[in-house]
Structure 1
Amino acid sequence: MFTRHRRTLLPAAALVPLLAACAAPAEQAAPAGKSAPGFPYTVSNCGVKTTFQAPPKRAVTMNQHVTEVMLALGLEKSLAGTAYLDDRILPAYKKAYDAVPVLSKEYPSKEALLAANPDFVYGGYASAFDAKAGRGRDDLKKSGIESRLNMEYCPSGASSLADLYQEVDEVARTFGVPERGADWTAEAKKTVTATEKRLKGVAPVSVFVYDSGDKTAFTAGGKGIGNELITRAGGRNVFADLDKTFGDATWEQVVARKPDVIVIYDYGSTTVEQKKKRLLDDPALKDVPAIKNKRFAVMPLSDAVLGVRVPAAVDKLSAQLHPNR
C-alpha cells in the first residue's frame, strides 16, 4: 500500500471547472516529425526530465488525489484507466470518473497496468512506482511509458500551496490545456484569500493529527501539504518538527504537547467513531485538552494531500477549528 503508512500499509463550487467546456481531450497527436501546438514541452519532475512532443492520449492514474487533478482539468477522455481510491470521489467529478475504467481496487499488477496500454502513468504516492512490483519509473520508461509523481513525494522541502499550483500547471501543460490550469489556480487563490480574510487576527489553536495507530500515533509531519493546510486554517501542528510528510509519534509526546484539537483523517475500514473511541478510552490521554473537551475535527484523507481539494479543505478545516469565525 502507500509508503505514507507504516505498514507499507467538498471543494468550493468555484474550484470545479466547467466540465462540459473541458470535456474534450487535449490536442491529438501530431503528425510524424511534427510537434502538437504548444509542444515540445519539457518538464523535470522529482528528478526525472521528460520532453513531450504531444499530449499523452492513454494516461493511467494511481491514487485518488491525482485522479481528481485530471478530472478537475477535464481530462477524463485522456484516461485509459485509474486505480486506488482513499475515500469517495468528489460528487462534481463522479460522472466523469464513472466513465473511466478502474484497473484495480488498489495498485494494479504490472501486467494489469500494461494491459491498459498506457503512454503515461501519474502516481500520487511514491509507492505507486514500486520497482519491486515492476512499476518503477525506469521500468515504465523502458516500456515506452512516461510518468509523473505528485510533487508532495519528491525529495525536496516542505510542500506548499505554491507546489499545488505548480502541480496543476505542469499537468495541464503536459496535456496541452495550460489555460485550464491557469483558470483553476485563479479560482483556488480566490478561495484561499477569502479564508485568510475571515481568519485575520485569530489566535492559532494547537492541533494533533490522528491518522491511525495504536502503539504509536501515525500523524502528519511538517513536510506535507497537511501541515500548511493546518496553518492556513488557523492551527498549529504540534508535530510540525517531524521531518516527514507522515510519521510516527509516541503517545507520551502527544500528551506533552497538549493539543487543543485532534484532527482525525477519515479513510479506510476504521471509522471516525472508532478512532474517537480509541482516543477517548485511552487513560494516558485523559489530561490532553482536546480529549478533556472532546474537541475533534474530521477531514477525508483526500483533503489533506497535494490535490485540488486543498484550497476548499483549508476553508472547511478553519470552520471546525474556529467555529465562531
Structure 2
Amino acid sequence: MRIRRSLLTGLFLFSALLAATAEAEQVTVRSCNRDVTFDNVPERAVANDVNLIEMMLALKLQDRMVGYTGVSGWKTLDERLRDGVKELPELSPKYPTKEVLLNADADFYFAGWNYGMKVGGEVTPDTLAPFGIKVYELTESCIFVMEKNKPTMDDMYVDILNLGKIFHVTDRAAALVAEYRRRVGEIEAKVGHADRPVRAFVYDSGEEKPFTSGRYGIPTALIEAAGGVNIMDDVEKSWAEVPWEPVIDKNPEVIVIVDYGEVTAAQKIAFLKNNPAFKNIDAVKNDRFVVLPYVEATPGPRNIDAIAALAKAFHSEAM
C-alpha cells in the first residue's frame, strides 16, 4: 500500500510538473484583430522583408529561422543585413507562395499586410493555419484588416515585445525597447522647443503620380517624433499614389526620399529639381532633401536612425 501511495504521489507530482511547464511555455499575443497562442517556441521561422528580418536579428533569433523572403526581388538588401542573414537562405525573392513555406517546413511566418501577405491572397493567417504555420502580423499593417489609430513608435515597440514573448526572450526585447525609447526621448526633447513642426513630404517613387506615405504609414510617426508633420496626413491610407497638385499646394519644406529599387535617390532628387512644376516648392528651392534607406522608412529597429536623420534635417539648430 505504501509503495502504491508513493507511486501515485510521484505520478501526480510529475503530471503537475509537466502541466506547469506547458503552461509556462504557452504564450498568447495580440496580432491585429486576432489572439494567437503559441504552445511552443517556433523552431523554423520565416520573416518577410528587410525590416521584419531586422527585428528578428535585433533579438538574435537567427538560430530559430529557417530562411527569409521578400528581399532581393525588391532590391532592398544592404551590407548590414547581408552580414546578419549570410547563413540563411532566401526562400523567395518577393512574396512567398504557400508551397515555399511548406517546402521549408516553416512553423512561423512573420509578415504584414502588403509586407508578404495580401488580403484575400494565397498566403494569410487563415490559409496557413491548417498546416500548423502560426502567423504574427506587423502592427503597422493592421490598417488593412481593422480600424486603428495612426501609427506611433509604439507600433514598432509592441512588435519587438511580442516577438520577445513568442520566442521567450522577453528580457532581451524589453532591453531593446527601453534603449529605443531612451534615444527617441532624447531627440524629442531637443526638437520639442521648435516654434512649429516642419512640413514634410515622403517621396517613394513615381513620376506621373508620386507614391507616398499617408496617415497610417510609419513615416508619419517618424516625422512627428522628429518635429515635423506629414503633409499627406489627410490621406487615409498607409502608402498610396496621389496627384502632384496637393503636394505642390501644401508646399513641403523638406522632402524625404525613400531609397531603394532601380531608381536611385539621386535620380529622384534630380527629377524633382529639374521639373519646372516643382520650382516653387520650398524644399526644392532650398535644396532640402533627406534620404532614408527603405529599411529605415519601414517599421523596424532602424527607425531610430531615421528619426535622428529627420530631426537633423528639420531642426539642425537643435541637433
Fold shared per TM-score above 0.5:
yes
- RMSD over aligned Cα, in angstroms? 2.0
Cα deviation code 1:236-267 (max 9, x no counterpart): 21111111111222111111111111111111
Counterpart-to-counterpart distance in 1, 2:36 and 2:84: 28
Q: Name 1:268's counterpart in structure 2.
A: 261
In the TM superposition, residue 90 of structure 1 has moved relative to its aligned partner by 6.2
Counterpart-to-counterpart distance in 1, 2:119 and 2:199: 39
Q: Name 1:59's counterpart in structure 2.
A: 45
- Residues 199, 90 of structure 1: CA spacing in aligned structure 2 closer, same or farther, 3 A cutoff? farther
In the TM superposition, residue 84 of structure 1 has moved relative to its aligned partner by 1.5
Letter in 2 for 1:116: A
Letter in 2 for 1:52: F
Q: Name 1:240's counterpart in structure 2.
A: 233
Letter in 1 for 2:123: R
In the TM superposition, residue 32 of structure 1 has moved relative to its aligned partner by 8.5
- Residues 59, 97 of structure 1: CA spacing in aligned structure 2 closer, same or farther, 3 A cutoff? same
**Equivalent pairs: percent with the same residue?**
33
In the TM superposition, residue 49 of structure 1 has moved relative to its aligned partner by 2.1
Taking CA–CA contacts closer than 8 Å with sequence separation of 6 or more, which of the two structures ends up with the larger relative contact order? 1
In the TM superposition, residue 272 of structure 1 has moved relative to its aligned partner by 0.7
Do the aligned partners of 2:49 and 2:115 also contact (CA within 8 Å) in 1?
Answer: no
1:165 to 157, 167, 177: 157
Q: Give the secondary structure class of the aligned counterpart of 2:116.
A: helix
Q: Name 2:285's counterpart in structure 1.
A: 292
Counterpart-to-counterpart distance in 2, 1:35 and 1:137: 27
In the TM superposition, residue 181 of structure 1 has moved relative to its aligned partner by 0.7
Letter in 2 for 1:294: D
Cα deviation code 1:47-81 (max 9, x no counterpart): 22221111111001111111111100010000011
Q: Greater helix percent: which structure? A: 2
Q: Name 1:6's counterpart in structure 2.
A: none
Report the count of equivalent residues.
294
Where do 5+ consecutive residues of structure 2 fail to align?
A: 1-16
Counterpart-to-counterpart distance in 1, 2:29 and 2:23: 16
Q: Name 2:107's counterpart in structure 1.
A: 119
Q: Name 1:13's counterpart in structure 2.
A: none
Q: Name 2:168's counterpart in structure 1.
A: 176
In the TM superposition, residue 40 of structure 1 has moved relative to its aligned partner by 1.3
2:201 to 197, 203, 208: 208
Do the aligned partners of 1:126 and 1:149 also contact (CA within 8 Å) in 2?
Answer: no
Q: Name 1:103's counterpart in structure 2.
A: 91
- Residues 131, 142 of structure 1: CA spacing in aligned structure 2 closer, same or farther, 3 A cutoff? farther
Where do 5+ consecutive residues of structure 1 fail to align?
A: 1-30
- Residues 76, 46 of structure 1: CA spacing in aligned structure 2 closer, same or farther, 3 A cutoff? same
TM-score, with structure 1 as normaliser: 0.85
Letter in 1 for 2:212: T
Are 1:218 and 2:211 counterparts? yes
Q: Name 1:305's counterpart in structure 2.
A: 298
Larger radius of gyration: 2
